[in-house]
Structure 1
Amino acid sequence: MWVEKVNNISIEKKIVIMLLGLLVAGVVASAGLMGYFLDKTKTKSFHQIAHSLNMIMKEKHRALETVAYTNMLALASNQELVDALKNGNREKAIAILAETEKNIEQNSPFHTFKVHLHDSQGHAFLRSWNPNKYGDDLTTFRHTIPYIVSTHKPFVTTEVGKTGMTIRGIVPMFDAQHRYVGSGEYIVSFDSFVDWMKKNEDADLLVLLDKKYQIQSTPRDLLLGHYVVAQKNYNPEFLHMAQQLNIDDLRKKAFYTDDHYLYTMVPIVDFAGKNIGYYLIGKKMASVDALLADAYKMIYASLGMMVLLLLIVTAISIYIMRKLVFSPLRDFQTGLMDFFTFFQKKSGSVSPIPVAYHDEIGEMAGKVNDEISRLEKSITNEEKVIAEAARVIESASNGDLTGRVAVTAENQTIQKMLDLLNKLFQNLEENIGKDVNKIVQTLEAYARCDYTHAIPGATGRIEKRLNRMQQVITEMLILNVQSSEALQSSSRVLSKNVVELNQSAAGQFQSIENTSRLMQQINETMEQSMQKLNEMGNKIDTLTDSLQRGESLSLETGKSIESINTQVEDILVAIKIIDEIAFQTNILSLNAAVEAATAGDAGKGFAVVAQEVRNLASKSADAARSIKTQVENATELTQKGINSSQQMLEGYQQLKHRIDQTTAEIEEISEMIKSQNRYVAEINSAVMKIRQSAQNNRSIAEKTESIVKDTQSLSDNIVMQAQKSKYDMTLVVTQGCSVATG
């Protein structure tokens, strides 16, 4: 919907709307740029403020180191203090330090300082803040003391001791003979930083010590993650806000802001170069916003100037375009509308377009004026041409194709169209004829099946073709009548033959059906025979397996009997040996009895034993003879078993030979049945093809019978239609057609 409304707006309004849109876009873009620059300015200002705080903090740290170093150098040059250290005179050293501290407090802004003197072995000699504590070995827990003892070189550093993390200026002390007698350190705390930052930078400061370097414990309320507050003077509110921060994340960033502070951190490095802590600086956001206010004012002023400049440029652009573009366009539009009114015949004349400027629009107006003058003349000529062409076309629409356009047109395209129109009518006259009405009357007569009507004086091709078509149709009608009558006679004969063919096909189909059923029964019988042969083959296979097992058992039985026979022979040998042993034992017992009789009474007991041995030998001989008899009987039976086993094995082999012959005969019968099955299948397939052919013949006969009936009906209709038509028999005779008249 809105697209249609936009399309209906004038160019002037579209351009004005476009300029206003560009103005709005410029204002929005300016606002976006302002937001971008504000954000960039804010971020850059935060970076600059954080960097400035870092530089100030580092500068103040170096200044404090310089104070500690120079003051300790001054103390080391006090020969009385050096002599007191050398001689171990602590009272004199205490007095000198008291006077020195008083002078420093009066002439220096740093009032929170301490002095610590060490002997040449690195032991505590005097602590200005606790004179009663001395003599402890400082080398056991402080890295700087062994260094000064071994190198005798002055330096300044930040170190963690029992008093906490402080800045220390450590200087060696030498006597008049330039012998090393010990060292001294000027200790400055960070509390003076806190006051200075609050007073000069409107910022709070926390000195943070990494807990892994802490010597003494710290209350939990002074912890910030794994850092502890290493100062006594601090702002509790700032400490509370800092405890909400993620110190590890803040260490990785240049700064961090919340509603109260801009935070930044400065590392603190010890004597060995290790990072032992940080300065956490928090500048109040009120001060930061005050610093940003001037930058914001400049950005807002720049935006206002940019918007004002855009408004002025847009207004001037609209005025100039109205004067130089829109006004000539309106004159051009008015002139074109007048011309279109004239072109549409709504007015009788047209005025030229006024030309005020010789720019592109003025050139277009001049060319349009020239074209209007030319078109005005051309339109008058074209009206005459159109009137003449309309007359010729109207005459042609009434059926007269002899009319032609005689007027000449100034427009070459229109003249070419007139030439084509005249050529068209000439072609129509040559191809159709002079009078279309006569052709229509003839066609209407043909539509009524009256072919006696012809066009007199035909000159056009269509007129001549219609007259020739009359003759051809008349010949076709006569020929159709004759052909239809012959077709009727042939159809009757064909119908009779088709009926006989149909009956014959039905009988053939029935015979083939009977043959097919018989072949199916033969096939089933052969399949049953094949099944019985398969069953017989399976039984023969089972019998063959049984024969093989019987043959195997018979062989095993023969082998077992032969083994028994061998063992029996071994038993006979053993019995023979036993018989010989019994014989020898009997002889020995006789000899023993003789010896016992010779011995008299002393040999009576031995004679009894010899008698018993002879009795045992006699029994052993009898038993051996008995066993020999039984074994010989067993040998005879075993030989009979071997003979029977051999006969049984021969019987199994003969039976197996006969079974193999039977199996071969069954396989031959099976192969013959399979061959017969293939022949039956081929015969059955041939019968099925013959059956299908017979069925197709029967179907063809039925279709042929239907076609014959349709042909008879068609021939009857042709004769009837031909009889309804009118035609002139003399036309056929004059053309020499060999058709019968009737």
Structure 2
Amino acid sequence: MEFFTRMSLKSKLVTIVAGFLSLVAILISVLSIIIERREMAHLALDRVDYALAGFASTLASSAEGFASAPPRPETVGDLARTTSPVRIDPSIVDKVMNTLDIHATYFQLLPEGQRFERLMTSIKTAEGTRAVGTQLDPAGPAHQALIAGQVYVGEADIMGEPYITRYEPVFDGQGRLSGAIFAGVPIATVGSLVLTTVLQLVLPTLALLLVAVLASRHFISRALSPVRAMVDIVNRLEKRDYDVVITPPSTQDEISALARACVSLRNDLSAGARLAASAAAQEGERMQQQAELSRVVADLRSGLARLADGDLMTPIASTPDNPFPPAYDSLRESFNSVIERFGVMIEQVNGIARNVRVGAVEITDASRELSTRAETQAATLEQSAAALTELTQSVASTAERAKMAQDASFGNRKGAERGAEIVQDAVAAMQGIEKGAEQITRIIGVIEDIAFQTNLLALNAGVEAARAGEAGRGFAVVASEVRLLAQRASDSAREIKTLISDSTRRVDEGSALVRKAGESLAEILVRANEAASLVADIAVAASEQARGLAEVNAGVNQLDNVTQQNSAVAEETSAAAATLQTQSGDLIVALSGFRTHQRPETPRTEARPRPAERKGAVIEANVVDWTAAAAAVVNGPRANPVRQNAWAEF
């Protein structure tokens, strides 16, 4: 860290840029390695799956003891055992190894101990021979998956070397586990491929990093060249060389702002040097002015101290042997004028305070009398307001009952209207019944005509049957029965027509009665409307009366409240007048502490007649402005008699 602080700004910036670019390059390289390793692992698994599928297909077609099996979930090698002994040519596994660079193995299941033994494999032992006869590690995850009849895909150690593997179980015709097939590639092979790819990526990255660092160093050096010029300028300003020429660069960055700030600093330092020279020349003059100012402050301090003690008779003096400074003589004259005028004002205020005290005594007495009369007026007005409130409530109750009567009248009118509508409906129904009776009469006439025609037809049929002789006897019986039926239908039609005529007559009578009832209801409805209109007018008038009384009541109540407030104001005025009297005395006592050239006077306590001597003063009952009322009591005529019924006139 100490080495970094001793470095120049250019070296620091280059170091920071180089470190940042290196960090970015390392991050990109690490991400590339991770992605490439993952891709290589996926590619290796795809190659293993392809090799295992080819190995299973070759065993099914070229080796004894195997056959193709139906596809199963999660498997790529569709292989099954047959009942024939297993014979596998070593060239099969060598072909897979030489073609795809993938190791292949066939395991047979040993019944004793449930272990898998390599029957044929391309994996070599440490001595360089095929690892035929070796067993699969019982503690490994692949063994557990195969015993459970499942596929295992993942990493596994084989002969002390890590592999990317795929194991699939092999079943016989009865579905029993009889062996397994294997395909795998060493992880070292995948790692070498990854390392080759990483080297191909890292070398160009390092070259680009070096070029970027060199370019950054060049651009930083060019960007910091104006800063070195600013350092030289500041060093010359430190040596008080204010004639240095500063040329701000044409750019709009922080260095240009620094150059402009240096120009302002040079101008300020030059102006400061000139001001320091003139200040040194003015220091002597300032000392003389300081001495005169000290004399002025001392005299003003003593004069203000006397003024604080109440002395208004001693001004600030200016003697020939010790004259007041001429530059501040106007201040001395102003102070002397102030204390002289202040003394005159104190005397005037003292006289006014005495007069105020006398007036306060008179106002106190008048306010007490006014408060008493206001209380009496408020009590009378309160009783009037209570009586008016009862009257308003009574009128409001009457208006409410008139409204109820109006509602009842409206209800009766609506009932009459509904009755009229019902009668009209009944008339319409009677008219419909009349029309129906007429139609029934016409239908009965048609039935009579039909019965008559049927009777004629039956008679003709009987004549024709008689002519036919013995052969028409049965037809004559039928014609006789038809004639009887026609006669009965004609009789029934006559009876129905008689009943319909009677019903029609009664319906006509009912229709006439209903029409009369409708006319009567219409007259009742007209009279109900007239009564409802009268009740509505009464209700409106009662409501208006109640509203008017309510407004009058509100006005009286408001006037009562105002009267109560006026009474309270009168009492407060009386108390304020008493307080004013006391404070005027205190003011006189306070003003007596000032010493002036005028001679003090004795207080005048009988400047005006006492209010008790003016019992003839008039207080109008309808006065609202209490200030004017008080003035009338104090200064009004004295010969008018007091009106005892003033509130009654109000």
**TM-score, structure 1 length as denominator?**
0.41
Greater relative CO (CA pairs within 8 A, separation 6+): 2
- TM-score, reference length from structure 2: 0.45
